[in-house]
Structure 1
């Protein structure tokens, strides 16, 4: 499995193509360097370098790419487990359609959710600068006549799935990219962006708010939320302790759909989230009641990936409820 990370390796931070890459789990600082790698099995990763990595993406026998940005308190092996589960479900549905690429940022492994939460929130913000470099590298590579001549362009469709605090990573990355590298706003880069159990304030996608750039960079932005998501309740308690009193996007969906851009859609998952991920009800976007069998949330995500439309039966619809 190909992956990108800004976690420090035990080796030098200098990129060396073909070397072993071992995560330094005791160092949870956000590196300004990014590493383009391949995961083979537990404890066995290889660094590829950005150009070989992007060429591998281009040559892969998949029609689309899905960048997976994980949530807080997830160490690399847990991220790989979740990403590979999602890959298997995609391959069950349609082989050669979706290639899953995890984006791994430095979560903490301390004990205690409050300590983890605030350390991870800082790491999410600090990771924005490194991952903005990834976007800039991709844009430069895609427009380079040597790597992508007019006779052989890269035609892969790019999608993003951000889970939990991964939504903060995505939001801050686009903000940093827009501020430091772009002149006229972010380009329309993603076909679909899925915001699952998003641990950001529920006004973040409103016009004029920090997350509006997610809408500018995406054809479709789909928010999946559940009011009884216990992990987000802990997040809310942590924020209240620090005098931040706003509901989370992953709890309630957008605060006011009329204030969001027209390409934002909201999907309530209250009826299935705890059945799919008991008892937290937080990671409900992969398997359903039985591990290895797709749930209805995954089915909706995959159908959107295939068609590029969230509600193809009704072009004006913007909300729905998932029920078994």
Structure 2
């Protein structure tokens, strides 16, 4: 499995193609560098370097790419990679050539508990924006330099879970501020915001999350009012004088203030049944290994390029 990370490795921080890559989990500060790697097996990683890594993605048999940005308090093993592999297995069962999942790994603390170290992870998410914005700029330059007769035509999608939504939002804001002349390009086909741990006004015009809408053809917001992890998140943010509901709790605050490509998908009917007792990680399976309804919904979006909301005219849908 290919992945990209701004977690520092053990040993030298300089890129060395084909070296063994080992995460230094004692370091939780984001690196200024990006490491393009491959997971060969549990705790077995190789650094490929950006050129070979991008070439491997271009040559992949999958028609689409899905960058998976994990949430807070997640470490590579046993959290991020097993979840990404489960997601890949579900996609392969639908169509082995549909999509390739690429984890985007940013530094989290690995201490137990929902609230503990939450605030440190927020800081890490914000600081990760600069290195991932550089990665986006590098990718755009690589794409532009590809020979015209052999362009990379794969569709690019993003699935951000929990605080991974903060990483995505801040990355686009940093990219827009430091590298782009007039707004972000339309780079993503589908952006899936699952249990998003950002304020529920984030996608409105005066907030930096508007760049998520501007960079995407479709933005699907999956939320559940009884997500216990986000309740803990709200408590932590109130302590730090941030008083707002989370996007993953209520969906967008006012749909009329979001762009017309934003869709709100209510997952309250099953989230706790799929992920007991927190009801926070409900986007892969039903808890018994079967494809969950969120997964089936986002597969439909990947296959069609459109978000199913039934006959709803306000872009809201209940799963």
Aligned residue number for residue 202 of structure 1: 200
- Tell me, in whole angstroms, the C-alpha distance in 2 between the residues paired with 1:52 and 1:240: 45
- Secondary structure at the aligned position of 1:27 is classed as coil
- Tell me, in whole angstroms, the C-alpha distance in 2 between the residues paired with 1:58 and 1:167: 26
Question: Which ranges in structure 1 are unaligned for 5 or more consecutive residues?
Answer: none
Runs of 4+ in 1 over 6 A off after TM superposition: none
Aligned residue number for residue 321 of structure 1: 318
Question: Does the 8 Å contact 1:311/1:317 carry over to 2?
Answer: no
- Secondary structure at the aligned position of 2:21 is classed as coil
Gap change, CA 1:92 and 1:112, over 3 Å in 2: closer
Question: Does residue 298 of the first structure (1) align with residue 295 of the second (2)?
Answer: yes
Correspondence 1:66-105 to 2 at 5 A? 66-77=66-77, 78-105=79-106
Q: CA deviation at 1:244?
A: 1.1
- Tell me, in whole angstroms, the C-alpha distance in 2 between the residues paired with 1:32 and 1:111: 27
- Tell me, in whole angstroms, the C-alpha distance in 2 between the residues paired with 1:315 and 1:97: 28
Q: Deviations over 1:186-227 (max 9, x none)?
A: 000000000000000000001121100000000000000000
- Tell me, in whole angstroms, the C-alpha distance in 2 between the residues paired with 1:219 and 1:204: 17
Aligned residue number for residue 154 of structure 1: 152
Aligned residue number for residue 182 of structure 2: 184
Question: Which ranges in structure 2 are unaligned for 5 or more consecutive residues?
Answer: none
Question: Does residue 233 of the first structure (1) align with residue 234 of the second (2)?
Answer: no
Q: CA deviation at 1:290?
A: 1.2
**RMSD (Å), alpha carbons:** 1.2
Correspondence 1:100-111 to 2 at 5 A? 100-111=101-112
Q: CA deviation at 1:317?
A: 5.4
Aligned residue number for residue 281 of structure 1: 279
- Tell me, in whole angstroms, the C-alpha distance in 1 between the residues paired with 2:313 and 2:63: 28
Q: Deviations over 1:87-132 (max 9, x none)?
A: 0000001111110000000001234543320110000000000000
Q: Deviations over 1:164-185 (max 9, x none)?
A: 0000000000000000000010
Question: Does the 8 Å contact 1:68/1:103 carry over to 2?
Answer: yes
Aligned residue number for residue 43 of structure 1: 43
Question: Does the 8 Å contact 2:309/2:315 carry over to 1?
Answer: no
Question: Does residue 221 of the first structure (1) align with residue 222 of the second (2)?
Answer: no
- Tell me, in whole angstroms, the C-alpha distance in 2 between the residues paired with 1:174 and 1:203: 17
Question: Does the 8 Å contact 1:70/1:162 carry over to 2?
Answer: yes
Report the number of matched residues. 318
- Tell me, in whole angstroms, the C-alpha distance in 2 between the residues paired with 1:93 and 1:195: 22
Q: CA deviation at 1:286?
A: 0.1
TM-score (norm 2): 0.98
Aligned residue number for residue 12 of structure 1: 12
- Tell me, in whole angstroms, the C-alpha distance in 1 between the residues paired with 2:149 and 2:134: 27
Q: CA deviation at 1:243?
A: 1.7
- Secondary structure at the aligned position of 2:115 is classed as helix
Question: Does the 8 Å contact 2:227/2:249 carry over to 1?
Answer: yes
